[in-house]
Structure 1
Amino acid sequence: MRHYACLFWTLLLTCLSPLALGERLRLVSDDWAPYVYEQEGQPRGIDVEVTTQVFARLGVQVEWQFMPWKRCLAMVEQGQADGVMDIFQSDARHPYLLFPAEPMSVVEFVLFQANARRHSVDNLNDLGNLRIGTSPGYDYGTAFNQASAFQREAAPTHEANFGKLVLGRIDLAITDRKVGQYLIQHMGLQQQVEPLPLVISRKAQFLGLVRKPGREALAQAFTEELRRFKQEPAYAAIIERYINDPKNILDAVEQQESSTAR
């Protein structure tokens, strides 16, 4: 059995196109700390480190480029980059993107409140007449996107939303739980802002590879290697480092650009 497994991987890796011969993959993303972001000109983040290590095992080098999300989407749709990091799957994207079967991580959108102005929220119906701080074009799930009982007030960055929250200019802010927790640490708001228990939606985010010859095999190899890596202590160590050390995201949130839905 072991012999057949080795043979399978040998055949698969030979099909990875010239990418497996040391060429670089150019991956684009916007700043989405702690998953992926740029700090002092260097790529950082949980999914950056995981992706880099997984591709290194496949003999593929990665070049990272950061830009506004809307431009990221345009570049991969036009084939001007090799892939995009931390993107949601959709039917509209499948014609030009391949998605490994294993997600990079899971986004959990929750609401954040100012401790000075608390709200009891058990479901979306409890948001009636409230002002919710959002990010332009983000997809928070069908139920939230289509709800009409509350007002949405977009801000150019998550940091701006939290600033408005503390000042009472909005009632609640919505973002990913990990992003919000890092933002609280970065802005020194540990005693002023907290998440609510209600989960608005959960979405898996993936590496998206531009459809080109050989990319199907690369996506499959990436899937298998990522699944193995997630079982190793090195993967847990990456998560632990970014969760427990807020210095890893200093200045990252300030660099976030206005963006469309991931």
Structure 2
Amino acid sequence: MKFWLGILIFLFSVGALAKIIVSSDPYPPIIYPKKGMPTGIVTDILPLILGKPASELTYRFSPWKRVLSDAEKGSVDIIGPLLITPERSEFLVFTEPLIRANISLWVRRDNPKVKELIKRNQPIKDFRELGDLTFGQILGYAFGEDFGAFFNKPEVRKVEVVDMGQGVQMLASKRIDVFLAYDPVIEYYIGELKLNKDDFVVLGEANHEVLYVMGISKKSSLVKELPEINRRISDLKLLQGSRK
């Protein structure tokens, strides 16, 4: 009896170890928990590009800074979606792009600090125009070269927020002036929080396009599968038809 119990425990342990751990912060509609279950675009895509049944994937949702830390330690296998940065390249390898996204600067329409910029309604070519505003900052997020060069300056005023949901709440309550977000994410939270969408506006039509990838921990066994993963991404033509 003890022998068979030991065998069952061993098989269970092997099965548990075989699980691929996927980690992200809540980022609806791309990847987020809904009624305790992971859902979103990424959860549909991952089994296809990894070539594994969905039952072999375990999802873990954490603040983004912790997601990055876990990937660096190797306690998770794959994270994202995310942008490629030199810092992340130290502990991650990256897939080919999966998702095309429009990132925008969102403000409250009734914020007097941005009244003239809203009225002008032109692309913001010099981010120094935003120097007097307070931005919501999710620790660990990257913003691309153009806005990131401005945002990461120490003199830019930033307020830390835990995640996208809290950022939208703080924007709604005027504790921050600007929040940078993928349009469907902020629109999702505006709806979930039952806020009036007309109270918010994209500042200066400051949309710019980014391409999201997934990051694989260099300590994960998935690293050796990266060429095959990228082949599947190419075969699926995921970016086709995703442009707004």
The answer to whether residue 34 in structure 2 is matched with residue 28 in structure 1 is no
Q: Percent identity?
A: 20
Counterpart for residue 128 of structure 2: 125
Match of 1:161 among 167, 183, 190: 167
**Kindly tell me: are residues 131 and 69 of structure 1, through their superposed partners in 2, closer, same or farther at Cα, counting changes over 3 Å?**
closer
Contact 1:25–1:60 (8 Å) recurs in 2: no
Contact 1:99–1:207 (8 Å) recurs in 2: yes
Counterpart for residue 110 of structure 1: 104
**Kindly tell me: are residues 172 and 221 of structure 1, through their superposed partners in 2, closer, same or farther at Cα, counting changes over 3 Å?**
same
Quote the offset at 1:128 in angstroms. Answer: 3.2
The within-5 A match list for 1:17-166 is: 23-56=18-51, 61-100=56-95, 102-117=96-111, 118-120=115-117, 122=124, 123-141=126-144, 142-147=148-153, 150-166=156-172
Contact 2:74–2:220 (8 Å) recurs in 1: no
Counterpart for residue 254 of structure 1: none
> What TM-score, normalized by structure 2, do the two folds share?
0.71
**CA offset digits 1:160-213 (Å, max 9, x no partner):** 3333333333332222222112222222321211222113x6543322223358
Counterpart for residue 174 of structure 1: 180
SS at structure 2 position matched to 1:120: helix
Counterpart for residue 205 of structure 1: 212
Alignment length (residue pairs): 213
SS at structure 2 position matched to 1:171: coil
SS at structure 1 position matched to 2:76: coil
The within-5 A match list for 1:240-259 is: none
Please tell me the root mean square deviation across aligned C-alpha atoms, in Å: 3.3
Contact 1:139–1:145 (8 Å) recurs in 2: no
Q: Which amino acid aligns with 2:127?
A: L
> What TM-score, normalized by structure 1, do the two folds share?
0.67
**CA offset digits 1:83-138 (Å, max 9, x no partner):** 223233233333432222x1122444321121223451623122132222332342
Counterpart for residue 190 of structure 1: 197
Partner Cα distance (2:159, 2:149) in 1: 17
> Gapped runs of 5+ residues in structure 2?
1-17, 119-123
Contact 1:134–1:175 (8 Å) recurs in 2: no
**CA offset digits 1:37-76 (Å, max 9, x no partner):** 1112211111221112333468993222222323322222
Partner Cα distance (1:31, 1:195) in 2: 22
Partner Cα distance (2:20, 2:37) in 1: 16
Partner Cα distance (1:214, 1:135) in 2: 29
Q: Which amino acid aligns with 2:237?
A: K
Q: Which amino acid aligns with 1:223?
A: N
Partner Cα distance (1:164, 1:154) in 2: 10
Contact 2:47–2:53 (8 Å) recurs in 1: no
Q: Which amino acid aligns with 1:154?
A: E
Deviation larger for 144-153 or 52-61 = 52-61
Partner Cα distance (1:125, 1:46) in 2: 35
SS at structure 1 position matched to 2:187: helix
> Gapped runs of 5+ residues in structure 1?
1-22, 244-262
SS at structure 1 position matched to 2:215: strand
Partner Cα distance (1:80, 1:165) in 2: 34
